[in-house]
Chain A
Amino acid sequence: MQISANRNLNRPRLRGRKLTDDTPWAMLMLAPNIIGFFMFMVFPILATLFFSFTEYDLIGAPKIIGLDNYVELFRDPIIATTLNNTLVFTLITVPIGMAFSLLLAIFLDQKIAFKRFYRGAYFLPSITSMVAVSIVWQWIYNPEFGLMNYLLSFVGIRGITWLSSSSTSLLSLAIVNIWKSAGYNMMLFLAGLQGISNTYYEAGQLDGASKWKQFIHITLPMLSPTTFFIFIMSVISSFQVFDSVILMTKGGPGRSSSVLVHYLYQNAFQYFSMGYACAIAYLLFFIVLLVTMLNMRLERKIKEIF
Chain B
Amino acid sequence: MKLTLKIWRQKDANSKGKMMDYAIDGIDGDMSFLEMMDVLNENLNNKGEEPVEFDHDCREGICGSCSLQINGEPHGPDRLVTTCQLHMRKFNDGDTITIEPFRAKAFPVIKDLIVDRTAFDRIQQAGGYISVNTSGNTQDANSIPIDKHDADDAFYSAACIGCGACVAACKNASAMLFTSAKISQYALLPQGQVEAVDRVQNMVRQMDLEGFGNCTNTGACEIECPKGISLENIARMNREYLSASVKG
Instruction: Decide whether A and B assemble into one complex.
Output: no
